[in-house]
Structure 1
Amino acid sequence: MTAAPTPTPLSPPAAGPAAAPVHEHITDAIKAPALVRLDGDTVLARFETMKVYAALGAVRTLLRRGRIRPGQTLIDSSSGIYALALAMACHRYGLRCHIVASTTVDSVMRAQLEVLGATVDQMPPSSSLRLDQERRVRHVRRLLAGRPDMYWMRQYHDPVHQAGYGEFAALVDAALPGERLTVVGAVGTGASTGGLTRALRATGRAVRLVGVQPFGSVTFGSERFSDPEAIIAGIGSSIPFGNVRHALYDTVHWLDFRHAMAGTVGLLRDHAVFAGLSTGAAYLAGGYEAARRPGGGPYLLLGPDTGHRYAERVFARHREAADPAELRPQRIGTPGDLRPPWSVLEWAGRQAPPGAVHTEDTEGEPA
């Protein structure tokens, strides 16, 4: 049985209430994370939806460059989180939005998109994530062929989606000053971890980047494995991503669904933080990294979304979750040594595995 968490010492009362900003649009209110200290030097950046940074940064940049214009329709495929961020950015800047939705988009998310003015085409149930992704890509291409006025955002391949994370980097730099910093986060599209790390390194900081992957993802070469329970969206992909810059990553952790679930449930149990599966995976990997390198400076864990869409698949099964304190990874020396359920490799800036190189022939839009 897991021991009760140690109570946090009472903080002294604040000197006085600070004036709360009045935001011009909801995107300004939800884009910045809550920064929560977990253990020692470990801090969680917990977002309602981190992809607001990606969508706002991309839309603003494209408008400024004249690549898109007010009133135009932006189109992309998504499993939900980016779709909502893009719909809100379009709402803010007077653009139309069309989403080719994964079969995994639920009725609540679809209703939000439609009320925001987005039109939604949802794919039918599929036997695999890859088939779902490929169907969506084909549908996007059919729509573009008939509607040349649409603009395909290509969030997984267009580096414009990294632009917004410079603002997040400035927030991190002010909140966690110093020479060294370790960033731990799900790789996913590569835009958040890559955009944040590049912006921080540009200031001269020594930033170590730890990426988290599921088994079955091509991004760092684990596609030969199968994890039937894995919810791969937001952590990895079955097709190559153009926005992943493999050479940025110092360390990579691969975790199966059960380990990610243990981290997700453990984060709620130990710190009262209700967050998604990729946040739990980062919590497990980050805790291991911080324990292995004590005194190595702040560890920033990225928590890109809340736990609501994992209520049934993860939180309702909390009694099945292992205690994170009892879990340890297998340290490996080469990608060929990779094996479930949890492996860690000092990636040390290696280039992309052959199957993870994005070309026009591998063009696609994953979950």
Structure 2
Amino acid sequence: MLELIGNTPLARITAPLPFAHGGFWAKLEGLGLGGMKARAAASMLLAARARGELRPGAAVVESTSGTLGIGLAFAGRTLGHPVVLVVDDELEPGMRALLRAHGTRLEVVDRPHPEGGWQQARLDRLRAVLDSLPGAYWPDQYNNPDNARGYASLAREIAERLDRVDVLVCSVGTGGHSAGVSRALRAYWPGLRLVGVDSVGSTIFGQPARRRLMRGLGSSIHPRNVAYGAFDEVHWVGPAEAVDTCRRMAEGCFVTGGWSTGAVARVAAWAARREPGAEVVAVFPDGPERYLGSVFDDGYRRAHGLHLPPRTHPVEIAQADSVEVSGWARCRTVVDPRRVEVPA
């Protein structure tokens, strides 16, 4: 079963998003068995088993907003491990039903942490669950380097199809796939430029943490898997831009997805338009099925003000912490916000 992970299609996207562009390549990870994060899940569990950290038949416990949960359900069951997932109240009913159908046990957090949001609340519950399950293993997707290593196969699949890649556009949540894919692709093309796509309200790149409508990208904590030095620039995309892009793709090229895919596609189309002739590749983490009640629902769109005209170009900011962004913005100076300046 693990041999079925990956080998996802690479599609050419030419639909206006919102303006015409020369086209970019999209790796359609939402079409892979177990989803994109099955790559990371299998990598983390197999490495832990090899080191003796994950014993035969032991439970696997992890915090997730949904996508890694599917990957862990697949990899865990394939390798003979029960899976316990700590999720939160904002996880869609359909995703809860799907995870339970795959045999996972769900621990649902009903209120966000006052400072760390849903992620910190889930991590607090996770530690309590671990204490109740002796021998259980926590992959710790945010900080586990085997997360990033799992995406070497994704990079290899791209390299087998294309003669070159100039710009790679990746959403950033745990930091795993942006780090793993960019590192592996730079072995083929050292001059490759990495563009990170974050969510408005995420603290990963130095913005203040706020409650976020979009799931799947962004964070209220600082994952150690984020390879800050690998990024050439970062964009923050708001939900209005992501929804607009998802709907344009659904109508214009049939290929579409959810929050992360919409945000990444917006930036990839902008990059392709800005640099004619450049070979731009974007990783689409998901498909549309999970988002029929949000991104593709007219009532949801109106209720959250997402029907209003979104930004068509990013606002340029000099430093990530110089101004709090409320919509699509771009910064060409990427620093690790955890870095502490020590007075001389």
In structure 2, do the counterparts of structure 1 residues 181 and 65 end up closer, same or farther at CA, with 3 Å as the change threshold?
Answer: farther
2:44 alignment counterpart = 58
Question: Aligned with 1:291: secondary structure?
Answer: helix
Q: Give distance in 2, aligned partners of 1:310 and 1:114.
A: 18
Q: Give distance in 2, aligned partners of 1:88 and 1:328.
A: 39
In structure 2, do the counterparts of structure 1 residues 267 and 47 end up closer, same or farther at CA, with 3 Å as the change threshold?
Answer: same
Q: Give distance in 2, aligned partners of 1:64 and 1:169.
A: 24
Q: Give distance in 1, aligned partners of 2:121 and 2:57.
A: 27
Of residues 196, 205, 218 in structure 2, which corresponds to 1:220? 205
The higher radius of gyration belongs to 1
Question: In the comparison of the two structures, how many residue pairs are matched?
Answer: 323
1:351 alignment counterpart = 335
| TM-score (normalised: structure 2) | 0.86
Q: Deviations over 1:173-218 (max 9, x none)?
A: 111122x421112111110111100111133532211111112111
Judge conservation of contact 2:112–2:120 (CA < 8 Å) in 1: no
In structure 2, do the counterparts of structure 1 residues 337 and 104 end up closer, same or farther at CA, with 3 Å as the change threshold?
Answer: closer
Query: Which amino acid in the other structure matches residue 221 of structure 2?
Result: I
Q: Deviations over 1:209-262 (max 9, x none)?
A: 1111112111011216x5x6x434321011111111111110111121111111
Q: Give distance in 1, aligned partners of 2:182 and 2:49.
A: 25
- For structure 2, which runs of at least 5 residues remain unmatched after alignment? 15-21
Offset of 1:107 from its aligned partner?
Answer: 3.3
1:174 alignment counterpart = 160
Judge conservation of contact 2:86–2:109 (CA < 8 Å) in 1: yes
Offset of 1:41 from its aligned partner?
Answer: 4.6
Does residue 116 (structure 1) correspond to residue 136 (structure 2)? The answer is: no
Offset of 1:285 from its aligned partner?
Answer: 0.8
Of residues 61, 69, 92 in structure 2, which corresponds to 1:75? 61
RMSD after superposition: 2.4
- For structure 1, which runs of at least 5 residues remain unmatched after alignment? 1-24, 358-367
Judge conservation of contact 1:265–1:321 (CA < 8 Å) in 2: no
Question: Aligned with 1:206: secondary structure?
Answer: coil
Query: Which amino acid in the other structure matches residue 231 of structure 2?
Result: Y
Q: How does 1:22-33 map to 2 (within 5 A)?
A: 25=1, 28-29=3-4, 31-33=6-8
Does residue 304 (structure 1) correspond to residue 280 (structure 2)? The answer is: no
Q: Deviations over 1:245-293 (max 9, x none)?
A: 1111101111211111111111212211131111111111111111111
1:365 alignment counterpart = none
1:38 alignment counterpart = 13
Q: Give distance in 1, aligned partners of 2:144 and 2:276.
A: 37
In structure 2, do the counterparts of structure 1 residues 182 and 103 end up closer, same or farther at CA, with 3 Å as the change threshold?
Answer: same
In structure 2, do the counterparts of structure 1 residues 288 and 322 end up closer, same or farther at CA, with 3 Å as the change threshold?
Answer: farther
Judge conservation of contact 1:215–1:256 (CA < 8 Å) in 2: yes
Q: Give distance in 1, aligned partners of 2:213 and 2:135.
A: 34
Identity %: 29
Offset of 1:342 from its aligned partner?
Answer: 1.6
In structure 2, do the counterparts of structure 1 residues 120 and 337 end up closer, same or farther at CA, with 3 Å as the change threshold?
Answer: closer
Q: How does 1:1-367 map to 2 (within 5 A)?
A: 25=1, 28-29=3-4, 31-39=6-14, 40-48=22-30, 49-126=35-112, 130-178=116-164, 180-223=165-208, 226=210, 230-296=212-278, 298-317=279-298, 321=307, 327-335=312-320, 336-337=322-323, 339-347=325-333, 350-354=334-338
Judge conservation of contact 2:168–2:282 (CA < 8 Å) in 1: yes
